[in-house]
């Protein structure tokens, strides 16, 4: 490969903050709101033009896992009160009526509103592209946007970019994907269809939901008629009349940190969409007249980097419902959601309907602290865990829950003037309990 040597240049420091959160998905939203509510000066930067990450930009169907998280309840309650919802739903709807499904446009508004109320300085259309380090300590982040290349200095940086871009720039150790071969879970561009007759429609919501239709069993029909590696049928109710959220595009062999792979994924997913609509019209009752209404801004990436933390979460910790002394997120529950790395459906190591655990598990603070880098915390799907454990905690409810814990810990450490890895976790736990966490 040829190289071009880019010369050094001065760039403006546009902000100096206590806590800088990079990434405005569930993990970043949780971290920023929690830290600000603890009284810290918080700034959040996000590559898209709004917040929510996969929940909104990824056009996700519903929030899963950690449904006890008080911030998630708050988000859903505020979403339920949104004026922009169809009139037949608002305003009587409670957060529980939603079953955690996502009216994407309303949730984009709600998340901005919550940032304003918490006093977080938000800057969207801003990509973190490098870190500023002193030895092994992160001191800030370099960004690129329409305003050019700029620097933001911070006492603590929280990496909530999903892929852990900041931690990777900082030189934190990580493994990509599955331990044995670095293969990552397949990617999916979510989309919505309209024109569905809800009175007759079916909603297969997992790979293990089998429905007999006049033409045959729905998952078998998917395997036979959809373009591989698509082939499973996952359809979710939406709050918009006649609309259904579709989780059926599927591309394998993608490294979500490689822009050329991402380009291939976007193009292949969009090619699959037409064939999926045709399939639904032909085989699935209630979908005869369906049509494409909207698609995610970005192909959803399930898995990329797993960082080496002070400790690494394992599948056994999850199945045993382990309560870590240094818990920062409690009452997490989900299955091992590993999609087939080579094709459609579930991987042989995955378990959805047949998943069994002793109870809800906790996330230890040490899994959010990179082993050797200071000034930096991990939040969301990029925390330290194995490929299999990650398939469980990667869901948005749990990522939000982790964010709340990490943001609280960061604020506490900055206010006490100690290294992030030395945050007083007993104090953090007391604050979390006082702020709505239920044991
Ligand atoms: C297809 C698919 C289906 C899923 N289904 C479900 C489901 O049904 N329920 C569920 O709860 N979860 C589901 N998940 C999992 C879940 O959506 C993600 O794992 C979760 O959103 C991760 O949260 P996060 O905040 O860590 O990352 P993300 O949601 O990915 O948010 C990261 C944010 O950081 C921003 N960002 C990235 N890099 C940078 C950068 N360098 N600078 C600035 N900003 C940056 C991104 O734009 C994004 O907004 C699904 C995921 C996928 C892909």
264: which 2 tokens?
């291939």
Q: pTM for the whole thing? A: 0.97
Give the distance (Å) from ligand 1 centre to CA of residue 55. 7
> pLDDT tens, position by position, for the chain (439 residues)?
999 999 999 999 999 999 999 999 999 999 999 999 999 999 999 999 999 999 999 999 999 987 788 999 899 889 888 888 887 765 455 555 556 788 999 999 999 999 999 999 999 999 999 999 999 999 999 999 999 999 999 999 999 999 999 999 999 999 999 999 999 999 999 999 999 999 999 999 888 889 999 999 999 999 999 999 999 999 999 888 899 999 999 999 999 999 999 999 999 999 999 999 999 999 999 999 999 999 999 999 999 999 999 999 999 999 999 999 999 999 999 999 999 999 888 888 887 777 889 999 999 999 999 999 999 999 999 999 999 999 999 999 999 999 999 999 999 999 999 999 999 999 999 999 999 898 8
Ligand 1, atom 19, residue with closest C-alpha: 394
- From 53, 188, 393, give the residue whose CB has the most ligand 1 atoms within 8 Å, as the site to mutate: 53
Give the distance (Å) from ligand 1 centre to CA of residue 289. 31
| First-last CA distance in the chain | 54
Q: Would you say 89 and 225 are in contact if contact means Cβ atoms under 8 Å apart? A: no
Ligand 1, atom 15, residue with closest C-alpha: 395
Burial of 178 (C-beta count, 10 Å sphere; 0-12/13-18/19+):
buried
Number of neighbouring beta carbons within 10 Å of residue 422 = 11
Which residues have CB under 6 Å of ligand 1? 22-28, 45-48, 53-54, 57-58, 60-65, 127-128, 160-163, 165, 188, 190, 247, 300-302, 380-381, 394-397, 399
127: which 2 tokens?
């990509």
Between CA 120 and CA 130, with CA 126 as vertex, the angle to 5 degrees is 105
């Amino acid at each position: 490969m040829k190289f071009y040597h880019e010369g050094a240049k001065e760039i403006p420091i546009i902000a100096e903050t206590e806590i800088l959160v990079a990434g405005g998905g569930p993990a970043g939203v949780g971290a920023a709101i929690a830290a600000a509510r603890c009284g810290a000066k918080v700034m959040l930067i996000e590559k898209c033009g709004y917040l929510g990450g996969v929940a909104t930009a990824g056009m996700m169907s519903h929030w899963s896992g950690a449904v006890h998280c008080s911030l998630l309840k708050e988000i859903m309650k505020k979403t339920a009160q949104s004026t922009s919802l169809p009139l037949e739903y608002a305003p009587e709807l409670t957060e529980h009526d939603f079953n955690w499904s996502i009216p994407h446009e309303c949730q984009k508004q709600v998340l901005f509103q919550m940032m304003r109320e918490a006093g977080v300085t938000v800057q969207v259309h801003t990509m973190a592209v490098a870190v500023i380090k002193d030895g092994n300590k992160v001191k800030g982040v370099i960004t690129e946007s329409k305003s050019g290349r700029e620097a933001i200095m911070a006492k603590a940086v929280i990496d909530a970019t999903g892929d852990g871009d900041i931690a990777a720039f900082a030189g934190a150790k990580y493994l990509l994907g599955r331990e044995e071969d670095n293969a990552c879970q397949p990617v999916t561009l979510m989309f919505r269809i309209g024109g569905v007759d809800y009175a007759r429609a079916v909603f297969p919501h997992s790979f293990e939901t089998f429905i007999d239709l006049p033409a045959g069993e729905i998952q078998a029909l998917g395997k036979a008629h959809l373009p591989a590696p698509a082939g499973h049928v996952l359809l979710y109710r939406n709050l918009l009349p006649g609309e259904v959220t579709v989780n059926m595009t599927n591309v394998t062999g993608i490294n979500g940190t490689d822009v050329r792979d991402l380009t291939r994924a976007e193009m292949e997913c969009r090619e699959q969409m037409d064939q999926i609509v045709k399939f639904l019209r032909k085989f699935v009752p209630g979908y005869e007249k369906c049509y494409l209404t909207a698609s995610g801004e970005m192909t959803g990436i399930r898995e990329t980097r797993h960082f080496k933390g002070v400790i690494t979460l394992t599948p056994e910790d999850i199945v045993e419902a382990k309560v870590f002394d240094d818990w920062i997120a409690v009452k997490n529950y989900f299955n091992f959601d590993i999609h087939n790395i080579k094709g459609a459906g579930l991987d042989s190591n995955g378990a959805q309907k047949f998943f069994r655990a002793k109870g809800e598990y906790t996330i230890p603070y040490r899994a959010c602290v990179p082993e050797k880098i200071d000034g930096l915390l991990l939040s969301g799907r990029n925390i330290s865990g194995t490929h299999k454990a990650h398939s469980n905690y990667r869901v948005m409810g749990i990522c939000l829950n982790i964010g709340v814990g990490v943001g609280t810990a960061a604020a506490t450490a900055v206010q006490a003037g100690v290294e992030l890895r030395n945050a007083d976790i007993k104090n953090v736990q007391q604050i979390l309990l006082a702020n709505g966490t239920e044991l």
